[in-house]
Each structure stands twice: as C-alpha cells, then as structure tokens.
A and B are shown apart, each in its own frame.
Chain A
Amino acid sequence: MKSSLITGGSLVQSLVPRLCPDLVRWNRYVRGNDLKVAIIGFGKMGILHSGILNLLVPGIVKAVVDKSFILTFGVSRLIRSLKFYRDIGGMLKEVEPDVVYVTTPTNSHYSIVKDLLEHGVKYVFVEKPPTVNYEELEDLISTKKPGQMVMVGFQKRFSLTFRHAKLLLESGVIGDIVGVNSYIRSGDILEPTGRFNPLRRGVLLDLGVHLIDLLTWLFKIRSVIKAVSRSIYTHVDDMFIAELEADKGFRISIETSWSNPEYRVPETYIEVKGSQGTIWVTEDYLKVSASTEHPLLGNRRELTLYKPHYYQGVPPVNLADPEYTIENIHFLESIHEGREPVTSIEEASETMKLVDELYREIGKTR
C-alpha cells in the first residue's frame, strides 16, 4: 500500500505546477518585495497572517491596529519591530500601508473594509466571511474603485486536495455528477458562549461558509431545497443541515457543525458521486474510484493521496495549515501581477448570496 502511495506522490509532484502555479514561482513575488503591510485585529488570524507574511518576507509587516489596550500595550513591549495603534486613521496617516489585512471579528469587517476603500488603500485582505450578509458585500463591491483589490480569506480553495478534486471533476474523470454529500465539522464550541450573539448568525456563517464557498466554486448551484438549524451551546445556529439543487439537477447535501467533540480540528468533507466513479476529498486526502483508467489518476482506476504527498517540501512556510501560506503567496502574486485573486470579493458573491438564502430558508434574515 505504501509504495503505491509514493507512486501517487510522484504523480502529485508532476501536477503541482498545474494545481498551484503560485507554489512554483513564489520566490519571484516575495524576494525584494517592498510592500508595507498593516494588520487590523491582532487576534488568532491576525497573528497567523502576519507571522506567515514575515516568514515569507522578513519585515514586510509594519504595523498593527487593535482596539484592545491590554494587547497593544503588552504586545508592543514584546514585538518591537512593529508599530502598534489603537485607531485605524492614525495608522493609515503615519504608516501609509500598501496592503491592509482585516482580521477583526466578522461584524466589523464591512465598516472597516469600506473605510479602507474610501481612504484609498489599494490592496485589502479580509478574513472570511467577508461580511455578515450579501447586501454588505454588494456595497463593498460598489465602493471599490478601479485599481483597488479586495481578497477574501477563503483559504480552502488553496488546499491542493480540493484543487486536485476540481481538476478531476472538470476533466470528467468520474463522468456526469449524480449527487454530492458534504460536511464541515469541528469541536470548537463545546460550551456556552455569547460571542456570536451580535452577529445573529452562527456556524453556517462562521465555519460553514468555507464549505459553501467550496461548493459554489466546484458546482453551479440553482436553489435551496430545504434547510434546518439547531442551537446547542449558543443562541445562534450550532448545527445547520440543508439540501441544495445544482443547475444540472443533482442534489447536494450539506451539514455544518462546530459542536462535534469528535473533531479536534475542523474537517471539510465532500463526496462526489458520478456516473463513472466517486471522489472523496477533505483537506487531508483525496480518494478516487473510477470505472476507467485516467492519466490524472496515474493511468489507474483507483487513487488515494494524503497531505504529505501534496506538500513535499512546499509551501515555503509552515505555520498552521499549508493553505494559509499558499493563500498569502497568491495575494502577493496577485498584487505583483495586477490580477484579481481567485478569492476576490467579487468571487465571494455567489457564496454570500447562498448563505443568505440558507438563512432565509430557516426564517432568519439579517
């Protein structure tokens, strides 16, 4: 079994330039990079992105804005290479950053990104979900001026397993799609918390949005057939189950939960049944069973590949999952090339429209 896995690993190595060209030419976009980056919100995601960026391009992050006094006062005594601010305006005036990362709680994304765009910041990265609903997203898109770029942190699209699955689907390796089962589960919320009350939306918006984004990226979705949600530990949805219909008529079932104790870290699972085979894919693996041999399966009918086969000496920085680094490289490359990123704010429209539709279905609009 193991030797066949290694053969599969060689197959992936030959596919990496096709799956993720950013990884092949990353050096070109990070060496000698003189961009000035600022981070707004120095929580988990702000620390992660700034850490990755600084490991890719030492010293690229110049400033941090966080409204917490404890954080700015305490951390500024530890991290002397960064300037810390408590208000965005002051930072923009003094630092004049080229790039701003918005990694604050979701309910503040809209107003902060809008301010940045109006202020003329050229390149903005906003963590997922970009806004609380589609209406806010639409307004941001209309605020954006030519030459400005907003990328959304839908990092699952940068996972090589999901990219490989997309390539196989587009190449017709499993024939016509018959049906899709999917879930995203985590054990993040296993005790009562009021953190999500201001949002009035829960797991579907916060975690499920990754799955919705992958599904809108992989398939064209026509409508919501049914949806139900359940609260367990919060006053919002802790579990959200739905059934969708794709343009081509097949059904897609989705389940999102952040209160599953079995899941130490989140897992996104998509099973695609086709007329000539099945694909099972998560962040960790890709498994394929097809009725005929195919070059993309290494001229075989069955293929199983795990994360170590995809990430052989890549990405150049290992901090959290590899897709975060690839996402940051892609953003730097998009800036360098003056090209819209694959997860641009415009690309996020379908995802946020579908999120709204799903909440409408359970009778919760916002």
Chain B
Amino acid sequence: MVKEILLGDNPFLGVSHLAQEKARIERNEISRVEAKAEIVKAALEGGVTGFTFSTHSSNLELLKYMGRRHPEVLGKLNYYILIPYAHSYIRKANVIGTIGLAKAIIRDIVLKHPVDSITSAVTLNFSKVASLFIGMEANLYLKVLPRERVKAILLHEVLTELIVAYSLVELLEELKGYVERKLEVGFGLETRNIGQLRRFLEENGIQVDYIMTPMNPLGYQMAPSKEEAEEAIQELGDQGVKIITVNILASGAVSLEETCRYLEGYRDRVYAVAYGTTKPYRAKENAIILKKNLLAL
C-alpha cells in the first residue's frame, strides 16, 4: 500500500526531464533558499510525509536553513537521500578530466578517512573505498537531519545502472552493508532500468529495502519497456521491496488526475510516490490529491 507521499528536489536543482528551457525558468523562480523552504512547508501542509533529495550543496543549504528557521518542519519529515549528485562530478570531469576527478575524490577520501583508506589500499579492497566515498557524502547531511527521520540512502541511478551493467555484486554488497551497518539507515537503489535491475537482483540473490524508479502512464524512462517495467515493479513490490515511484507526471506531460488513475492499479505494490514543483500552492494541492487518491488510510 502507498504509505508515503514525498516531495522531490529536481525542480530545486534546475532539473526538468521535459525541457531544459523549463528547468532554467524554474531554477530562476526558486533560486532563493527561502522560496524552497516555502515549498517544503506547503507540501507538508498538504500531507507530504517525506523529502527525497540528491546530495547537491544547495540542498544542504536548504536543510540547514530549515533547521534554523523551521525546525518543526524538519522534524516532521522522513528523508530519502540520493548519493552522489552525479552531475556535479560529470561537470568536474569536463574541466579536469576523468583521471583528475578520480584523483581528487581519492585525495578527499584519504584526508577524511586516513586509516581506512590505507587499510583498503593495502588489502586492495576498492569496494571499501567506494563505501568511504558514500559515507563522506552522506555524513554532511546526516549531521543536519534528525537521525531517526533518515529512512534510506539510495544509490543514484548512474551508479545503479553501472553496477548492473558490469555485474558488480561485491561492490553492491559492500555498499549495502556499509549503509545498513555503519550508517544505520535503510539501503536502496534508484534506477531507470528496473527490468534489468530486477533480473540482476534475482540472479545474484540480493535483496534491498528500497527501489526508486520512474512510473507514469506514458512509460517515459521505464525500461526495457513499459510493460516489462510494470511487471518488475509488481514482482519486486510483492517481494516486499519498498518501491518509490518518481517522475509520475512524465515530467509534466500528463496530468495529475491521469497519473492517479494509472497508479491506483499499483497501490498495493508501491510504497511511496514522489513529485516535484516550484510553486507552493501546487506543492500543497498535489499532495492533497495524491494523498486522497493513493495513500493507504
């Protein structure tokens, strides 16, 4: 059953899967931290129960601001953190190259975790280095958020897809273990290739708590096809994986009403539904509609 309605951060970061033109306009509308905070507050009033966000520095700024100015709001929401904010690393690679980027990340990890880094290097345990990287990114946010409210850390889709593509079972198990045992929060994967991910998890006998994936009436970003993605969501949901659906409006190409009708058929398998907006009134209104149509009472 749908248990949570989540607010997503894409519009806060200037991300629109509809058009860059739209993203630029929205980003300018919402560049101030106060404007973002208003949306979070409005969403909470409408019935949102959580916030899902990437580890982008502007989100850290927002959460710190909320902690200072609206601690009551911060304390009422659950948090689902996507790590890492891949785009910032891609952009950095454009300037310093991929090797330059790798060196910069390793340097940061060594400075923050000198002992663990040396141990990992000596034992050639490079999966451990990846865990330290995730920990390094997560800790900035874990310090700011009410710890009991952080429900999961999810690997960004780029990492998930590469883990599946190269069959990185060892790495996935290391990251999962690190997040669950060391950071003591739930572990999840974000994907736009849920059919391939389901097969990979099944073949390797891996279970994760959460999977975040696009789900909309058009089948946009649902792979390997809309039908196979739907089947994968149903099966994973039946197995107890908490499915968090994102891009439910196909980036704005379909209406909320159409989406609700579509998602109603999956209410038993979906755990949470996420949406994003740059308008406070819409943040509240959408939460009310989603809650009314999908949330388990």
Contact = CB atoms under 8 A, between A and B. Distances in A.
Interface of A: 2-3, 5-6, 9, 42-44, 47, 50-52, 54-55, 58, 68, 70-71, 74-75, 77-82, 187-189, 191, 193, 195, 262-265, 267, 282, 284-285, 306-309, 311-319
29 contacts: A43-B97, A47-B162, A68-B99, A71-B98, A74-B129, A75-B126, A78-B127, A79-B166, A188-B94, A189-B95, A191-B95, A262-B24, A263-B24, A264-B20, A264-B24, A282-B19, A306-B18, A306-B251, A307-B18, A308-B18, A308-B216, A313-B220, A313-B222, A315-B223, A316-B224, A316-B225, A318-B192, A319-B161, A319-B165
Given A264-B20, A313-B222, A318-B193, 7 more contacts: A55-B165, A55-B196, A58-B167, A79-B166, A308-B17, A317-B223, A318-B161
A37 B111 CA distance: 38
Given A188-B94, A311-B220, A79 B168 contact: yes
A257 B28 CA distance: 20
A195 B98 CA distance: 11
A12 B153 CA distance: 37
Interface stretch (B64-72, B85-93, B142-150): B85-93
Given A43-B97, A77-B124, A308-B251, A54 B168 contact: no
B24 to A, nearest CB: 6
A191 B162 CA distance: 29
Contact of A308 (B164, B171, B218): B218
Nearest to A8: B253
B99 A70 contact: yes
A77 B170 CA distance: 10
A308 B19 contact: no
Interface residue tally of chain B, by bracket? 35 or more
Contacts of A3: 255
B118 interface: no
Interface of B: 13-15, 17-21, 23-24, 27, 87, 90-91, 93-99, 102-103, 124, 126-127, 129-130, 158, 161-162, 164-168, 170-171, 192-193, 196, 216, 218-227, 229, 250-255, 258
Contacts of A316: 223-225
Nearest to B171: A78
Given A71-B102, A306-B253, A309-B253, A43 B161 contact: no
Contacts of B164: 55
B11 to A, nearest CB: 12
A313 B227 contact: yes
A78 B162 CA distance: 11
Contacts of B253: 2, 5-6, 9, 306, 308-309
Contacts of B171: 78
Given A312-B219, A313-B219, A313-B227, A51 B103 contact: no
A50 B161 CA distance: 11
B98 A78 contact: no
A264 B14 contact: yes
Nearest to A234: B95
A192 to B, nearest CB: 9
Contacts of A42: 98
A309 B127 CA distance: 39
B96 A195 contact: yes
B99 A319 contact: no
Contact of B225 (A5, A47, A267, A313): A313
A245 to B, nearest CB: 29
A77 B168 CA distance: 10
A196 to B, nearest CB: 10
A188 B91 contact: yes
Given A51-B162, A189-B94, A307 B19 contact: yes
Given A70-B99, A193-B96, A314-B225, A44 B90 contact: yes
Nearest to B203: A58
B65 to A, nearest CB: 22
A312 B96 contact: no
B1 to A, nearest CB: 26
Contacts of B161: 51, 55, 318-319
Which 6 pairs of residues, A with B, have the shortest CB-CB distance? A313-B219, A313-B226, A318-B192, A43-B98, A284-B19, A308-B220
